[in-house]
Amino acid sequence: MYYFIVNPNSCCGRGKIIWDKLERTIKDSGVEYQAYLTEKPGDAKIFAKNLTEGCKESSVIIAVGGDGTVNEILDGYSMCSCVTLGYIPAGSGNDLARSLKLPKNPVRCLNKILHPKYYKLMDYGVLSYGDSEISHRRFVVSAGIGMDAAVCHNLLYSRTRDLLHRLRIGKLAYLLVGVRQLISAKPCKGYILLNGVQKIEFNHAYFISAHIHPYEGGGFKFAPDADFEDGRLSVCVMNNRKKRKLICVLLNSLMGKKSVNKGIRFYSCEEIHIHMDRPMAVHVDGESCFCQNDVEIRCIGKKLRMIV
């Protein structure tokens, strides 16, 4: 059985257009399927939980939407060996699709899912936060604290983003909001603890991001060395007294180059604890986790079965 969880509102309604086209193809193929269309944030998580909880029969859940839709599905997903995840990108960023090199044509993606040649056991991440009550959020692409998360928060409510996405230049929205955030950003003191052993302190941290996949924000390659099958997080830390150095980081990431500026540091670990001296914005796959000053992020190795 094929279960489609569809976000019709992704990318300013593009999800609905893509789904209408896909559904005609699915009906022509004669396969057995059910479709669940989301109406509000959180619906995809509920659908995924209901479909996978106690699942004993082989099935495929296909996300039709953006990285946020996949994030919700993963967050509600019961990790069962008989359930496989498929993905048809219909969002604005599509960083997961970019990393997996999925076809841009939705029908070609559908055909790969209906006639699969390859399956992969992929890593995913878990972010934990909170004081009196600990909350956990899974993520498939990246999680971060600081300026990159503030950009994601801003984009969630930006009118400019909708216009740029209609023009199919969503990456420019991230860059424009990033520049605006850069102007107002203030660095923060803090430290990271890698694998519970190695403590590294920072005096002028702007953001810290932990990646399963290399890209973020619609194609910004903040973690060029990230590998979704190695059981490790690829961590990028921007720590620099000179704010203008961030401009080079954004431009290099936009062009897919690894930044070598002083103050840009990269680490690899299975688990990271991040402490900042004041609360800063936090995100998972571009979705808000509000502001925190302490978070823990760990990699869960090769537990997500996916068609690629």
3-class state of residue 46 by DSSP:
helix
Cβ atoms of residues 286 and 70 within 8 Å:
no
2-117 has which CATH code? 3.40.50.10330
Nearest to 238 by CA among 209, 214, 201: 209
Cβ atoms of residues 36 and 47 within 8 Å:
yes
Q: What is d(CA 129, CA 293) in angstroms, rounded to the nearest whole number? A: 9
Which CA distances in Å does 296 have to 144, 193, 194, 223? 11, 9, 10, 19
- pLDDT reported for residue 187: 92
- pLDDT reported for residue 170: 56
Q: What is d(CA 214, CA 61) in angstroms, rounded to the nearest whole number? A: 24
- pLDDT reported for residue 157: 65
Residue ranges, comma separated, of all CATH 2.60.200.40 domains in the chain are 125-301
Residue ranges, comma separated, of all CATH 3.40.50.10330 domains in the chain are 2-117
Residue 220 tokens read as: 């910004």
- pLDDT reported for residue 74: 96
What is the distance in angstroms between the CA of the first residue and the CA of the last residue of the chain?
18
- pLDDT reported for residue 304: 94
CA 161 to chain centre: 18
Cβ atoms of residues 298 and 273 within 8 Å:
no
Query: Which architecture characterizes domain 125-301 according to CATH?
Result: Sandwich (2.60)
Which CA distances in Å does 150 have to 143, 189, 290? 12, 17, 9
Record the pTM.
Answer: 0.92
Cβ atoms of residues 291 and 280 within 8 Å:
yes
Per-residue pLDDT of the chain (308 residues; tens, 9 = 90+): 999 999 999 987 889 999 999 999 999 999 999 999 999 999 999 999 999 988 878 889 999 999 999 999 999 998 876 899 999 999 888 999 999 999 999 999 999 999 998 899 999 999 999 988 999 999 999 999 999 898 887 777 666 555 555 555 556 667 777 778 878 889 999 999 999 999 999 999 999 999 999 999 888 899 999 999 999 999 999 998 888 777 787 778 878 877 777 778 999 999 999 999 999 999 999 999 999 999 999 999 999 999 99
* 171 burial level (CB within 10 Å; 0-12, 13-18, 19+): middle
Q: What is d(CA 73, CA 186) in angstroms, rounded to the nearest whole number? A: 34
Nearest to 10 by CA among 84, 87, 93, 74: 93
Nearest to 93 by CA among 31, 21, 158, 141: 141
Q: Are strands 215-216 and 220-221 parallel, antiparallel or unpaired?
A: antiparallel
